[in-house]
Amino acid sequence: MSNAQSGLTIMRRDLDSIIRQGKAELPSECCGLMIGRREGGRCVCHHIRPTGNADKSPYSFTIAPEELLKGYRHADDLGMELVGIYHTHPARPFPSSVDLGFMKWSAPVWLIVSSLNWAYAAYVLEGGRPVKVNVTLVQPSFYRQ
């Protein structure tokens, strides 16, 4: 793990929603956006925004440009930013070589959920390599503090 401040904070109910979305979209990978704020090295997700998988594939995903633009606008309307991408994998939750290519120019943290057993992990890219970061699950009351 990079440092103690790095990671992703996400509501348990949002992670549960991502898993439900993944199950509903099987056999295709599901995907979506995480909207929130960066607090130091942490990405704090306040909202998830499911998107369609333009590939409709069990082995890849693409978020259509218009969906990505809607996500950026939604984040801006909320006074927030796009802090992460999430998607499912039909393997262990680790970035593929294709993921690594896109991680170079997209959101700071990627949450990957395995459609084999619904295990999850989050990664950031440091020096061109994926680094696993801590995922902290919180309740809605966390955001009222």
| Helix residue ranges, H only, 25-141 | 65-77, 97-103
First to last CA, the chain: 27
Pairing of the two strands 120-126 and 81-89: unpaired
Q: Please confirm, yes or no, whether 29 is among the known catalytic residues.
A: yes
* Residue 19 token pair: 């898993």
Tokens at 106, concatenated: 């997209």
Given the residues 25, 29, 39, 67, the one annotated as active site: 29
Annotated catalytic residues are: 29
